[in-house]
Amino acid sequence: MTFQEYLDYFEQILASPEDYDPYGDEEYLNYTKLNWSRMNRWLKRFEPNDAIKSLIASMTEPQHWIVITEPWCGDAAHSVAQLYQIVKNNPNIDFEIQLRDKEPFLIEDYLTNGSKSIPKLIIRNDVGHDKFIWGPRPQPLQDLYMQMKVEGKAFAEINEVIQKWYNEDKGEVLQRELLTQLS
C-alpha cells in the first residue's frame, strides 16, 4: 500500500478496532493509539538533515523502498514516519508499505535473528534486486534492546527505554545509517 493508504488503514483500525485482528484486544489497541500519536508527531516535526536530503535528491535511478510494518509496532511509529519524510519528495523512489501479518508475508525473507521484527526497510533497484536492508531499529538501539533482553528486563522497562531513546535521538542515527549505506 502507499503511505497514504497505510494512514487510512491505521485510521480505520482506530475507528473500528473490533473489525481488525488483533486490535479488538485492548492492549494492542492502546499501543496502536499511542503509535498513531507518535507517528503524527514525527510527520509534523521531523525534518531530514541536509546531508540525507542532498543524497536522496541526487538519486535519479528508480528505486523501490518497501517497509514491512504494522500499526501496533512501537518502533515503526518512529521510523516509518521518518523514512517517509526522508524520501517523499523524490519521484524516483517508490515508497511502499507491506503489512507483516498479511499475505504475501514478505517478512519471512527478512527475519532478524529468526524473528519477524519490524519495521524492516528493503531498498530495491528497478529490476528488483535488494540493494540494502535496514531494521528493525537503529543499530545502537538494537544493541541496547538485545542487552536488556539478555539481562531479563521487563517488557515495560524495555519499551520505556526504547521510546526515550527515539525521542532523544530524533532520527539522527537512522539518517546516518542510511547515509553510510547509500553513499
127, pLDDT greater than 90? no
In a domain, 157, yes or no: no
pLDDT of residue 139: 97
Range of the domain at 112: 3-136
Mean pLDDT of the chain: 96
Write out pLDDT tens, residues 138-153.
999 999 999 999 999 9
CA-based nearest residue to 179, from 47, 50, 75 = 50
CA-based nearest residue to 58, from 96, 85, 87 = 87
For residue 19, which phi and psi values (nearest 5 degrees)? Answer: -85, -5
Let me know: does 151 contact 158? Beta carbons within 8 Å. Answer: no
pLDDT above 90: percentage of residues in the chain? 97
In a domain, 180, yes or no: no
pLDDT of residue 106: 95
Write out pLDDT tens, residues 104-121.
899 999 999 999 999 999
What total number of domains does the chain contain? 1
C-alpha cell at 2: 502507499
In a domain, 147, yes or no: no
In a domain, 87, yes or no: yes
Q: Which helix (H) or strand (E) holds 134?
A: strand 130-134
Query: Stretch 68-84: mean pLDDT, rounded?
Result: 97
In a domain, 178, yes or no: no
In a domain, 77, yes or no: yes
Let me know: does 46 contact 85? Beta carbons within 8 Å. Answer: yes
In a domain, 80, yes or no: yes
Question: What's the pTM?
Answer: 0.95
57, pLDDT greater than 90? yes
pLDDT of residue 43: 98
pLDDT of residue 11: 98
126, pLDDT greater than 90? no
164, pLDDT greater than 90? yes
Extended beta strands in 1-107, E state: 63-69, 93-99
Using CA atoms, how far apart are residues 172 and 146, in angstroms rounded to an integer? 21
pLDDT of residue 104: 86
Confidence band for 181, pLDDT divided at 50, 70 and 90: very high
pLDDT of residue 32: 97
Using CA atoms, how far apart are residues 93 and 75, in angstroms rounded to an integer? 23
Strand partners, 98: 68
In a domain, 169, yes or no: no
Query: Stretch 126-148: mean pLDDT, rounded?
Result: 95
Using CA atoms, how far apart are residues 183 and 113, in angstroms rounded to an integer? 26
Query: Residue 77: which CATH number?
Result: 3.40.30.10
